[in-house]
Structure 1
Amino acid sequence: MFGPPSSLIENYLRETGFWHVVTIGQGCKLNSKLISALIERWRPETHTFHLLCGECTITLEDVHLQLGLPVDGYTVTGSASSTNWGAVCYELLSVTRDNINGGQIEIGWLRDTFPESNNDSTELERIGYAWAYILEMIGGYLMPDLS
């Protein structure tokens, strides 16, 4: 992540439900032995932890309570397909990229294209920066699978 977001986009992050995700880990001390023990007990084929007392899994309610992300409302299912990913990119970010590979954009491109907002930035620039920040949170923090 490229650090905490500018206070200029805080309202946009709150409006989209991502503000709580920004605060994850702040003031939290990680216990490496506990994390190692949980990793050893995780079974990816069933998406559960196998503990002495039984099986345990992560539910949407857990996601809601821990990350503060909304789990009610419209869902996103299936795969997204488009014949013009440049248009989709422009619609969301107000800029386009020439070589979008199957709907994927590079985090480095987001960082280069959307520098941190300042007091002179327009509302459109702030919204674009907020979207870029959210995309980087998803791609670099919530689901860092390098795809």
Structure 2
Amino acid sequence: MTRQLIRLDDKHISINQMQIPVDRVLQCFIRNLPGPPSPLIENYLREVGFWHVANIGRGCKLDLKLISTFVERWRPETHTFHIPCGKCTITLEDVQLQLGLSVDGSVLTGSAQSVDWGAICYDLLGAIPDNIYGGWIDMSWLRETFPVLGDDSIEVQIVQYAWAYILQIVRGYLMPDKSRNFVHLRWLLKLIDFRAAGELS
């Protein structure tokens, strides 16, 4: 029975690992936030449900050898890690407990279409990057445009800074992908009302 389930050995990373003379360690990437969230946006992050993520994600360090080991022991057929003491997997409850995110309520998903992403970016963030690629904006532009929130900031600036910080959380921790440097503005359209966003899963 197990042999029937574990049918992808010839394509699995562990086969390559066994054939090379030295242990290979995967290069992993995490985008740490530049600093702790400003106390001025704490209430907004709490309303959206991202306060815990904003604090736990700061200064994360990756254990590359441990990640490499888990990748080698992941079985795509059963969606479990096969380790010497048995099988295990990551559950939605694990993610909820570690990140403090809600898993109850309406699901935050789907796409968003816009004719003018520049106008949406300006309306929400108060600035427009030189390049917007179908709603995708550069993470480095976000960092440069919203470096530090001053104590004399007005409410509009505080809200814009909160949205920029949330975009960095979304791309850096919650929805990372191979692009690394871009985040889509659709997330802001889904999270535009902080209180309503806090009810989403």
Band the TM-score falls in, shorter-chain normalisation: 0.7 to 0.9
Q: Corresponding residue for 1:107?
A: 139
Measured at CA, do residues 122 and 136 of structure 1 come closer, stay the same or move farther in structure 2, by a change above 3 Å?
Answer: same
Question: After the TM superposition, which residues 15-54 of structure 1 pair with which residues of structure 2 at under 5 Å, given as runs?
Answer: 15-24=47-56, 34-43=66-75, 47-52=79-84, 53-54=86-87
Which amino acid in 2 is paired with 1:21?
V
1:60-71 matched pairs, under 5 angstroms? 60-71=92-103
Contact in 2 for aligned 1:18/1:69 (Cα 8 Å) = yes
Q: Distance in 2 between matches of 1:38 and 1:93?
A: 39
The CA deviation at 1:139 is 1.5
Counterpart contact for 1:86–1:98, Cα < 8 Å? no
Distance change (3 Å), C-alpha of 1:110 and 1:63: same
Q: Identity of aligned pairs, percent?
A: 65
Instruction: Confirm whether residue 8 of structure 1 aligns to residue 10 of structure 2.
Output: no
Query: What are the superposed Cα offsets for residues 8-58 of structure 1, whole Å, 9 maximum, x if unpaired?
Result: 11111111111100222569887665444323213467653233523x332
1:112 and 1:29 map into 2 onto residues whose CA distance is 23
**Number of aligned positions between the proteins:** 146
Aligned to 1:127: 159
| One-letter amino acid of the structure 2 residue matched with residue 50 of structure 1 | H
1:52-91 superposed Cα distances (whole Å, 9 cap, x missing partner): 523x332322221110011222212333222221233234
Tell me, yes or no, if the aligned pair for 1:8 and 1:118 is still in contact at 8 Å: no
Counterpart Cα distance in 1 of 2:113 and 2:158: 27
Aligned mates of 1:58, 1:19 — CA distance in 2: 22
Dislocated runs of 4+, deviation >6 Å: 26-30
Measure the CA separation in 1 of the matches of 2:54 and 2:178. 20
Tell me if 1:93 matches 2:115.
no
Residues 1:142 and 2:180 are matched in the alignment: no
Residue number among 110, 114, 118 corresponding to 1:82 in the alignment: 114
Distance across 1 between alignment mates of 2:62 and 2:129: 38
Question: What runs of 5+ residues in structure 2 fail to find an aligned partner?
Answer: 1-32, 180-201
State the distance in 2 between where 1:90 and 1:45 align: 45
The answer to whether the 8 A contact 1:6-1:117 is kept is: yes
TM-score by length of 1: 0.80
Tell me how large the CA RMSD over aligned residues is: 2.8
